Amino acid sequence: MKTLREKEKTIFELGGSGKRGMDLPKPEGLAPAAISGPCMRGVAPDLPDLSEVEVVRHFTRLSKLNYGVDDGFYPLGSCTMKHNPKINEVVASLEGFKWSHPMLPYGMVQGTLKAMKMLENALNEITGMDGCSLQPAAGAHGELTGVMMIRACQEKKGNSRQIMLIPDSAHGTNPASSAFSGYEVKEVASDETGCVDLKALAEALDENVAGMMLTNPNTLGIFEKNIQKIADMLHEKGALLYMDGANMNAMMGKARPGELGVDVMHLNLHKTFSTPHGGGGPGAGPVCFREHMAPFQPTPVVDGEGGYHKLNWNCPDSIGKVHGFYGNFLVILKALAYILSLGGNGLEQSTEDAVLAANYVRASLKDDFHIPFDVPTLHEVVFNDKLQEEFGVSTLDIAKRLIDYGIHPPTIYFPLIVHGSLMVEPTESESKEEMDYFIEIMKKIAKEAATSPELLHDAPHDTPVRRLDETKAARNPVLRYGGGKQ
């Protein structure tokens, strides 16, 4: 029997001539092929021949190599990979929701529309905002939607402006969302505390600035203590404040962005509100906004006046649709189940637990790994490899060695303002015992770096595939298999 440590062959290598997964009768009496000309293949596709049992076993073995939050600790900083309560999945699979279709008449989808409105209202209450659109399908999609709303708002005033300010501690998708919306990006430096440098902001701020995208807490896990001052500075110049709400799990029940001067923001339901990440989709990144931004929200808008819900398309200043139909409904339904099951007190406790967990890890490892910004943090903590560099050990070595101990590596080399960064977010769903094991292993790796650095240079040791040449893979990707010819 093959073990998971053996290298699994590709499906092309497993295939053999003449193997089949099924037997079909030879077709008789069919009309000539309707496909011809340039649409007709000149040669048969180079596909592997395998039996059904070989296909099933191959993909089953591959599935056992996957690692997710249901397998163990997944401390990806900034990504918030926490447990997804199974009751959320049950609610999303209820027959009435599962078979709801967006083309059905209003009378048959009142429950669906009511659930959407309930979630909008809940997110508004949590964020201190006045309106919400559930359409965006992911965090970056929510960012893009929010920045498009800012552009529409500025154009309505008669000047779209040309510049979007981005702190150097922001999420990496923020500059891309701004550029996609047609803005020139200007970076704003951080100060010695890891927060936005107000002097640098004042120098960058003029009448050509449309707004600023502020990640709060930022990617160092630090709360932007001057956020109200930042909002005032922007508003005085006619600019708007966008808040990247991906880290809202460090603020729920403690601070509401709408009360801090934020004009528009997005929320990652697959982070803060515990819907699955989904390996690229489906996700959900709703946009919340203050009343003055409401005319520019995506259409349609869920209208629940008089207890009867329908969709309002009459929004002349709207940026239009940003998603097919009305968003990834079953995903947002899981977030609603999460919010209703925890309630206000539960959401606040989850914030407290997330912050406590991160600071427990921080305090436990501060003597073993360097902390570049030694100030109080919230839901995540950023270390780096400064102490291990003298032994020739890098952040990548540390991350790969963690795999040998059954722990998924944390985020590495991000945020970019920290050299050799190692970003840990334990989340509120991890037990003390799980965090203690992570801390124990990290301390062990720190000792190995000082005494046996070669163990880290060669890690991981117990995986089917050893350390890959990531630079070569990025520069020379092999995107297709051609029977041994690339």
Which residues share a beta bridge with 244?
A: 215, 266
Helices marked H in 64-132: 86-92, 95-98, 110-127
Q: Is the pLDDT of residue 68 over 90?
A: no
Taking residues 54-62, report their average pLDDT.
91
Give the CB-side neighbour count of residue 90, counting CA atoms within 13 A. 5
So what's the pLDDT on residue 33?
59
Record the tokens describing residue 425, joined without a space. 């977010």
Taking residues 55-83, report their average pLDDT.
88
Burial class (CB in 10 A: 0-12, 13-18, 19+), 70: exposed
**Cβ atoms of residues 297 and 318 within 8 Å:** yes
Residue given tokens 């000309």 in the structure block: 37
3-state helix/strand/coil string of 188-248: ECECCCCCECHHHHHHHCCCCEEEEEEECCCCCCCCCCCHHHHHHHHHHCCCEEEEEECCH
What is the C-alpha separation between 123 and 131, in angstroms, rounded?
A: 9
Q: Please state, as a whole number, how many other Cβ atoms lie within 10 Å of the Cβ of residue 146.
A: 33
The set of residues, in sequence order, having a beta carbon less than 8 Å from that of 11 and lying 6+ positions away, is 48, 50, 55, 58
Q: With bands split at pLDDT 50, 70 and 90, how would you rate the model's confidence at 2? A: very low
**Cβ atoms of residues 456 and 397 within 8 Å:** yes
User: What mean pLDDT value characterizes the chain?
Assistant: 91
What is the C-alpha separation between 221 and 214, in angstroms, rounded?
A: 13
Q: Is the pLDDT of residue 1 over 50?
A: no
For 427-476, the pLDDT digits (tens) are: 999 999 999 999 999 999 999 999 999 999 999 998 888 888 888 888 98
Taking residues 20-37, report their average pLDDT.
69
* Protein fold of 344-473: Aspartate Aminotransferase, domain 1 (3.90.1150)
Number of H helices, E strands in the chain: 15, 12
Taking residues 341-350, report their average pLDDT.
96
Q: In sequence order, what E strands does 263-356 have?
A: 264-267, 287-289, 301-303, 310-312
Taking residues 168-187, report their average pLDDT.
93
What is the C-alpha separation between 222 and 235, in angstroms, rounded?
A: 23
Coil, helix or strand for 432?
helix
Listed by start position, the domains of the chain span 86-340, 344-473
For 86-104, the pLDDT digits (tens) are: 999 999 999 999 999 989 9
Q: With bands split at pLDDT 50, 70 and 90, how would you rate the model's confidence at 48? A: confident
Q: Is the pLDDT of residue 378 over 90?
A: yes
SS3 content of the chain, % helix, strand, coil (to 5): 40, 10, 50
Q: Is the pLDDT of residue 352 over 80?
A: yes
What is the C-alpha separation between 130 and 107, in angstroms, rounded?
A: 27
**Cβ atoms of residues 133 and 287 within 8 Å:** yes
Q: With bands split at pLDDT 50, 70 and 90, how would you rate the model's confidence at 277? A: confident
Please state which CATH number belongs to domain 86-340.
3.40.640.10
Most confident of 9-13, 105-109, 280-284: 105-109
The set of residues, in sequence order, having a beta carbon less than 8 Å from that of 411 and lying 6+ positions away, is 76, 77, 78, 79, 421, 422, 423, 424, 425
Taking residues 81-89, report their average pLDDT.
91
